[in-house]
């Protein structure tokens, strides 16, 4: 069951609640445009069994959703970081990234495990603290799987999305630490593993996990965890030097951010054997093939429109049934316009101001975190609204991806 650990902030969906209540129940027939024969294989389905996040504007989907609904997710001038002209920069800083007790616990475990001095930077420590909070939430949600005996015990693997600059030894140490967190929640080492995140983008990794889930004959669940922090003077100096830092004179630049977000995912077989009521379905389509458009002055929404047609056809859902769009779109005005044009073409009944939500400003630039956070928020919203929605990724260079999230267990015939 998808749960959160922070107290709920009721009513964050109230702006669209009345509209949803007045709308007929979702139908399982698509429009004639989507009834056309698919040119690609059907999207495999994953079940979302759990989710958690830590962002600068919320430690749960409820809390983040409330801040988004109130339009209180803007970046702030940072009191500690300055650009190359000595002026404060805009950042999305999380107060939860500082937890000396957790940092000391991790450092002690690394020392006891004979791990060499890895010299984690302050930014890496911030990411580790945020990621550990999310991992502990997910470990608690996965505890029921550890006790599962019907049809044999389940396996649990980690799929970690860490920033590109981390060294291999650091990645290995972090993986081992989070395996230890899972062991503390009741998992034996023999039933734990690490999946190599060798995909080109976070969405491509989710798609690969979905294909693996269909092909696997084992009961395997996966914790997908993304964490990153760019709240540090080193990052600001580097981005300022290469011209990628957001400034009033460079509005397409990146705003340093941080956060962590994760999902507990399972294939259809495992989800049905658990008979879990609070599940959401996840289908993903990815287009990683066009990097030439990154420098274009205007970004066409056609790639996203094509992905939407495929997804809705695979799920037998009409565009009019989509209740919300959640995106990782950041500060680049080209991407924001692309998202709005996509919404107008693929879900014209949605309101741009209230029904299309951008998580980029709420998280800042922090690698894969905004997209995974969009999936977390999407799973929560789909269950609350009892309606399907779309999660968009257009923030990463060259990549366009779309996820469909809807409530309920995946159909058995996808197994």
- Which one of 247, 274, 301 terminates a domain? 274
Residue 207 φ then ψ, to 5°: -65, -40
Calpha distance 318→313 (Å, rounded) = 8
Q: Which stretch, 21-30, 149-158, 202-211, 339-348, has highest mean pLDDT?
A: 339-348
What pLDDT score does 311 carry? 95
What pLDDT score does 12 carry? 43
Residues of the chain with pLDDT > 70: what percent?
A: 85
What pLDDT score does 149 carry? 55
Specify the pairing of strand 45-54 against strand 76-82: unpaired
249 inside domain: yes
| Terminal Cα distance for the chain, rounded | 20
Q: What is the CATH number of the domain that holds 207?
A: 3.40.47.10
118 inside domain: yes
Q: List, for residues 129-164, the tens digit of each pLDDT value.
A: 999 999 999 999 998 787 665 556 688 999 999 998
User: How many structural domains compose the chain?
Assistant: 2
Distance of CA 140 to the CA centre of its chain: 19
Calpha distance 381→370 (Å, rounded) = 16
Q: Would you call 5 helix, strand, or coil by DSSP?
A: coil
Question: pLDDT class for 118, splitting at 50, 70, 90?
Answer: confident
Question: pLDDT class for 277, splitting at 50, 70, 90?
Answer: low
Same domain (yes/no): 121, 253? yes
413 inside domain: no
Q: Which helix (H) or strand (E) holds 260?
A: strand 258-266
Same domain (yes/no): 30, 93? no
Structure tokens at 14: 């109230």
Same domain (yes/no): 109, 248? yes
* Residue of 178, 271, 285 lying closest to 225 (CA atoms): 178
Same domain (yes/no): 62, 190? yes
Same domain (yes/no): 239, 301? no
Over 60: is that where the pLDDT of 57 sits? yes
Structure tokens at 119: 């010299």
Q: Which has the minimum average pLDDT: 23-27, 106-110, 405-409?
A: 23-27
What pLDDT score does 198 carry? 72
Same domain (yes/no): 219, 291? no
Same domain (yes/no): 106, 29? no
Same domain (yes/no): 317, 378? yes
**Higher model confidence: residue 2 or residue 79?**
79
Q: Which has the minimum average pLDDT: 150-154, 167-171, 308-312, 356-360?
A: 150-154
Same domain (yes/no): 309, 257? no
Which range of residues forms the domain containing residue 148? 53-274
DSSP assigned state of 111 = H
Over 90: is that where the pLDDT of 283 sits? yes
- Which one of 213, 240, 274 terminates a domain? 274
- Which one of 209, 239, 274 terminates a domain? 274
């Amino acid at each position: 069951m998808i749960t959160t650990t922070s107290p709920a902030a009721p009513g964050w969906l109230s702006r669209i609640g009345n509209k949803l209540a007045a709308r007929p129940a979702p139908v399982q027939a698509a429009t004639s445009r989507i009834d056309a024969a698919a040119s690609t294989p059907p999207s495999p389905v994953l079940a979302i069994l759990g989710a958690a996040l830590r962002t600068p504007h919320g430690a749960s989907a409820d809390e983040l959703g409330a801040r988004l609904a109130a339009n209180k997710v803007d970046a702030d001038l940072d009191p500690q970081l300055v650009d190359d002209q000595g002026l404060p920069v805009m950042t999305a800083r999380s107060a939860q990234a500082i937890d000396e007790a957790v940092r000391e616990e991790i450092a002690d475990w690394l020392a006891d495990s004979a791990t060499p001095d890895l010299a984690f930077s302050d930014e890496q420590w911030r990411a580790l603290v945020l990621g550990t909070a999310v991992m502990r939430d997910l470990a608690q949600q996965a505890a029921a799987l550890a006790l599962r005996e019907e049809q044999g015990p389940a396996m649990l693997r980690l799929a970690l999305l860490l920033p590109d600059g981390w060294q291999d030894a650091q990645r290995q140490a972090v993986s081992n630490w989070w395996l230890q967190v899972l062991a503390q929640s009741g998992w034996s080492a023999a039933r734990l593993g690490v999946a190599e995140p060798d995909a080109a983008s976070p969405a491509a990794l989710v798609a690969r996990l979905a294909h693996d889930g269909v092909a696997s004959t084992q009961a395997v669940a996966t914790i997908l965890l993304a964490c990153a922090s760019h709240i540090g003077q080193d990052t600001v100096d580097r981005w300022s030097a290469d011209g990628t830092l957001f400034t009033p004179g460079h509005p397409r630049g990146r705003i340093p951010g941080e956060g962590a977000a994760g999902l507990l995912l399972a294939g259809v077989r495992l989800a049905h054997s658990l008979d879990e009521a609070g599940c959401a379905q996840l289908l993903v389509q990815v287009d990683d093939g066009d990097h030439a458009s990154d420098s274009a002055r205007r970004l066409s929404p056609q790639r996203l429109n094509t992905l939407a047609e495929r997804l809705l056809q695979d799920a037998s859902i009409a565009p009019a049934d989509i209740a919300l769009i959640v995106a990782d779109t950041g500060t680049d005005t080209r991407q924001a316009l692309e998202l709005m044009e996509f919404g107008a073409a693929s879900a014209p009944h949605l309101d741009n101001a209230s029904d299309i939500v951008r998580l980029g400003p709420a998280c800042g630039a922090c690698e894969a975190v905004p997209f995974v956070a969009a999936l977390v928020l999407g799973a929560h919203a789909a269950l609350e609204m009892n309606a399907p929605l779309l999660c968009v990724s257009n923030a990463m260079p060259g990549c366009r991806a779309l996820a469909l999230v809807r409530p309920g267990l995946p159909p058995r015939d996808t197994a």
